[in-house]
Amino acid sequence: MPVSPYPQGSVGVPCQKCPTTGFCQSGVLSVCRSNSVALGIGATLQTQCKCVAGYYSTAPGSACIQCPPDYYCPGDMTITPCISNAGTYGAVQTSSINSCSCNMGYYGSALANCTSCPISSYCRADTLTACPSNAGSPEISSSQYACNCNQGYYGNYAGCTICPAGSYTTTSNSSACTLCVAGTYSPSTGATTPSTCQACEGGTWSDSVASPTSANCAKCVAGTYSSASGAQASNTCVACVAGSYSTPVGSNSSTTCTLCVEGTFSAQVAAVNSLTCVNCQAGSYSSALGANHSNTCVKCVAGTYGLTPKATSIDVCVACQAGTYSTVAAAALTSTCVSCQSGSYSTVVGADVASTCASCQSGSYSTVVGADVPSTCVLCPAGAYSTGMGANATDTCILCQGGAYSTNRGANVSSTCLLCASGTYSTNIGANASDTCILCQGGTYSTGVGAAMGSTCIPCIRGTYSTNLGAALTSTCINCQMGTYSPLLGAAENATCVRCIAGSYSTAIAANSSATCVLCQGGTYSSGEGQTKPSVCLACDAGTFSTGLAAYSQTQCTDCQAGTYNSGIGSANASDCLSCAGGFYSPYTKATSQATCAPCEPGTFSTALAANTVATCASCDPGAFSWIGAVECTYCRPGEVKQSFA
């Protein structure tokens, strides 16, 4: 902002030249922009304010910018770069070319030319310096520290020493030589590559570093070998594995290890002779070369045995015969084969467990020890069964009980004993056919199955009969029909039902006694047998009677005698024949009416009852008379005389 050099309104103060720090217009001083001054006093325009040395502007009157590194700025709007490969080493706000120097790794003059520093030297402060002997540096090096010892030497910029035998360097700038590792050697000095370190040959080793000769490579001992070159320790000598041996020293291949022969083994490693190979025992074999453990001797499996030591094939293992087994592995005796017990058998050759002895199936038995075929298991006969497995005696076959039978041989459950059907029985033990079940006789039945006694056949009750053999139901007992009866138990035919006698009847079914036959009452009769209803008893005719029970014929109805009569039917008493009254007579038998009684003639009389002839009518005495049917004669009174009716 413009600043007046004098207090405003002052009078008589003389005008001064505007200072270099600004410019003046109309008596007013304005300060130049930052980092700029007027080239002299009395400046009147802003453009007369120029950037000071170390600064520059990009346009008249624009802001003054600090001179950057590797440039110099004399002032105003001028900015000039240092020459190629020169710079200000990071300094800014420089104002003269003298501020430019050759860059590190270059030499010469920044005012004229900066040249790159050659190899095996270093350049700084415009000066070139050579590296020491046996050392070098890359082009454009700027420090003594860039001088590195050449390959095959060690040290630093101060001096380099040649690597001795048994060592090398592969790069420059090595402070020490790399030693040949254990297992190698090198007779060369100043070596520049690891390949100068030659490996100890196979079969040897060295644990020394920086070895200058092969004499430092020790040989592997007998029983070992090493195929590796450059081995660094004795443990690189590989021991011949168990199952092999080797006698030479310094061997460089596993082929030096000779395998133990078949049928032998060796558990020893690094063995040095064949005596370490042990024979497989009898009961085992090995087909392997170089077996390294006793377990490579394959045991004859259970069920076999071997008699020969140092065997090389499974063929040495002899199988136990069928009917025997052995649970022992590596058996060396035939006696290890155990016979199957009686009640079992085995068809397996070389059986290795007792369970290969198959038990005879239930329903069979075997008394043979060491049986080798199932046919040694004898089937229980028909009529018997056995539930147990492995039975070894005949008495294990249980006989079917009475009332049952079995047709099956080898039956293994009691249910194969079939019960005799209802209506039959069997007293046989161990019956082997259905015809051993005897049919209940006619007139009997049995409702139960499996009957073992004839007494289980129940007789049909009295009043019934059955013609069936083997009847199984009470309903097979047929009732005697009405008009018949049977007092017999177990009647086997209809003929046992006796007919009620003529003169009787029965309405009862299954009557068991003649007492069930109801007799026709007196005054009746029935001529047929086996009658079934009361109406068959017919009444005696009028003029007759019957006093007896069970009259079986009309002829048993007695005629009323002459002199009597009976007008009713079915009379059961002789008194039912009524007598003709006195004075009457009847010569007729079987009279059915009183009208058959004829009266005595007049002049006669009869006192007799049931008179059966006219001769019973007696004549009246002289002097007496009677009327018809008189029972007495009336005498004439004195002075009277019987009138004659002639």
Question: Cα(246)–Cα(293) distance, rounded to whole angstroms?
Answer: 18
Chunked mean pLDDT (size 10), the chain, 646 residues: 39 75 91 90 89 90 91 90 86 86 84 87 85 88 88 88 92 89 92 93 93 92 93 93 94 94 95 94 95 93 95 95 95 95 95 95 95 95 94 94 94 94 94 94 94 94 94 94 95 94 94 94 93 94 93 93 95 94 95 95 94 94 91 86 58
CB 322 within 8 A of CB 271: no
For residue 291, being part of any structural domain is answered with yes
Question: Cα(268)–Cα(260) distance, rounded to whole angstroms?
Answer: 11
Question: Cα(48)–Cα(379) distance, rounded to whole angstroms?
Answer: 144
Domain end among 319, 339, 359: 339
Please tell me the predicted confidence (pLDDT) of residue 7. Answer: 35
Q: Which pair of tokens denotes residue 497?
A: 């039902």
For residue 292, what are the domain limits? 258-339
CB 231 within 8 A of CB 200: yes
The conformation of residue 381, written as its DSSP 8-state character, comes to: P
Number of domains in the chain: 2
Domain end among 339, 363, 388: 339
Position 4: which residue type?
S
For residue 420, being part of any structural domain is answered with no
Question: Cα(46)–Cα(371) distance, rounded to whole angstroms?
Answer: 138
For residue 323, being part of any structural domain is answered with yes
Question: Cα(460)–Cα(451) distance, rounded to whole angstroms?
Answer: 17
For residue 215, being part of any structural domain is answered with no
H or E stretch at 399: strand 398-399
CB 284 within 8 A of CB 278: no
CA-atom Rg of the chain in angstroms = 82
Question: Cα(331)–Cα(646) distance, rounded to whole angstroms?
Answer: 164
Question: Cα(225)–Cα(640) distance, rounded to whole angstroms?
Answer: 203
Please tell me the predicted confidence (pLDDT) of residue 273. Answer: 93
Position 574: which residue type?
A
Query: What SS3 state is found at 385?
Result: strand
Query: What SS3 state is found at 58?
Result: coil
pLDDT single digits (tens) 304-350: 999 999 999 999 999 999 999 999 999 999 999 999 999 999 999 99
Half-sphere CA count of 489, side-chain side, radius 13 A: 3
Half-sphere CA count of 284, side-chain side, radius 13 A: 19
Q: What is the DSSP string of 520-534?
A: PPTTEE---SSB-SG
Please tell me the predicted confidence (pLDDT) of residue 142. Answer: 87
For residue 274, being part of any structural domain is answered with yes
Residue 516 has φ and ψ, to the nearest 5°, of -75, -10
For residue 408, being part of any structural domain is answered with no
For residue 27, being part of any structural domain is answered with no
Domain end among 288, 305, 339: 339
Please tell me the predicted confidence (pLDDT) of residue 1. Answer: 42
Q: What is the 3-state secondary structure (H, E, C) of 300-344?
A: CCCCEECCCCCECCHHHCEECCCCEECCCCCCCCHHHCEECCCCE
Please tell me the predicted confidence (pLDDT) of residue 174. Answer: 85
For residue 642, being part of any structural domain is answered with yes
* Neighbouring-strand partners of residue 305: 318
Please tell me the predicted confidence (pLDDT) of residue 641. Answer: 67
